[in-house]
Structure 1
Amino acid sequence: MKAMLCHAYGPPSGLRAGELPEPVAGPGEVLLHVEACGVNFPDTLLIEGRYQQKPPLPFAPGGEVCGTVAALGEGVAGPPIGTRVAALITWGGFAEAVAVEAARIVPVPEGVAPAAAASICLAYGTVLHALRDRGALQPGETLLVLGAAGGTGMAAIQIGRLLGARVIAAASTAEKRAACLAQGAEAAIDYTAEGWRDELRALTGGRGVDVVFDPVGGAQAEPALRSTAWRGRYLVVGFASGEIPRLPFNLALLKGCAIIGVFYGEFARREPEANRALLAQLFAWVAAGRLAPHISATYPLEQAAEALEALAARRATGKLVLLTHAAPSPAGAAR
């Protein structure tokens, strides 16, 4: 089978097309013929050797797949062969087939396209777990989304609105802020500009924001924490900036606020049934037309390096997706 392989740790340009034996579904596993694979920030960490886990070389990155069931391993009763499913894995998705633990798969509703299905599990799963389960976001509260134009940030805008919150997006360029407004943010601010906290204070009538969703880290983290309201919740989602901030804990004391870690992958591993229910909710929203993943562009499998480079350079607004057997296209309808 075709796969895009990392032979040595390094930048995306080091990925090479290669051939691997088609995997076999072992006990408790299903074999998927991959149709689409989401492109995500952890993929860049994996190929650079900076992720928590280090698969043996060579390996195919790609942790968010949609495909059809091709075989069932020992002890697996279903779903039937040919069923379209999605799954959150750690690596292996940049390939034509992958063996996945049966407990990780979730059925894809009729009418949801593979590219959309491959956009849901990681970004949208992370966001729903963060905002609903960890941040307890309530209708009428104000949500600040940092790095709002990225795939996870766009998901946070959409799900924040679905949960009834007022969403303020923070992004670095006028083009990105326009994209955030188009996705439903009530306001968009430039969080790289001097005095951006003053603008945020004006938008909240001096009160501050109830929840901060931060997948970026870096220099904007402390000003965002200082902008929380009394009993606010600061969600630590990731460090796309490459810098882990050192936050002054006295702010948590003075504001009565909570700094909350969000480790979606570990939640999915430790609480698989809760995660399957979470993903089922997301796919139900997509099928009902209430949620439409914003896909910037799709790429053929052979252009995985270009997709990862676009992601790493922060040129994407929304999700990037690899298509294994279909022609690439610009962002289109999610269903």
Structure 2
Amino acid sequence: MTSAILSADEFELFARMGRLRAVSPGEVLFRRGDSGTAMYVIARGEIDLDFGDDLQVKRLGPNEFFGELGLLIGDHARSADAIAACDGQLIELRHHEFERLVEHDPATVSFFLRRAIMRVVYNEQGLIRRLRRRNHDLQAALDNLHTTTHQLNQTEELVRTDELTGLYNRRGLMLHMQECREIGLTTALGLVLVDCDRFKQVNDEHGHLVGDRVLQSVASILRAVVGPEDLACRLGGDEFCLVVASARREDVMRVASYVVRTAQNLLAMEAEEGIAPLICPLSVGACLVEADADWNAWYAQADAALYRAKRLGGGRVEWQDPLPSTA
């Protein structure tokens, strides 16, 4: 069964956007069949959910939520009695506030929705089997949630994506790292840090439209070399990176060398044809990093190699073994 316990990010978001409500022992929040338009999060205390007949009373505690269909579809007929078991405090979120939640933090709401959908399906199907209830509420909820989830997935993808190049942005990279840790990825990865040489000169001499085209060309090179489990990202400005799903130095160097070599070939074509710049020389720093290390450690190691490539004239790849620990 899917847990009804919120993550720290979800609890913080709902606490910030919802309304606090104090409850006393025995206080009835709603009865079965009542029309509801709110979801509740338990900040303190305990709530009993009584589904009637011979079903066991379910007791919820801090950081757990209930009544989520009221928030998600509004005007939902409650399937249980909700009664306070002791003094407590709830966070109340109403249906009309749902769009505000989505606009404020689409990524967190998207993660919450995925779990909420699974929980709704599990709970509602169990009740249907036992109580032989009609499932029109569930179908309406699933239709609404399917539409909302689709919209949120699109919004989440936009939040993760760099508008100019279509690559993941820094936020997308951070979310990717978080997801890798959540699935227990512990093997080493390759990191390739890419920086445009003389990019300011291109902007100054040819204008920002040409500069944008150069950045898009770099993105195209990275997109061409990434594998299905790799990630290409624009960190900002003229700095990019590739996360390579391999723990082998030769694999990472093959990717890094391809990036530099492709840029060199495009530069040679420009020189022959005398056209405005499509690309500029690329300096690349490459290394292997531990999947469970933080981004600062990853970046420092790859940046040491990138700095050396720049210092040696640019347009080349340099490798960096793990840096000595500062502990």
User: Normalising TM by the smaller chain, what interval?
Assistant: under 0.3
Question: What is the TM-score normalised by the length of structure 1?
Answer: 0.25
Q: Which has the higher helix share?
A: 2
**Largest Rg, 1 or 2:** 2
Between 1 and 2, higher relative CO (CA 8 Å, sep ≥ 6) is seen in: 1
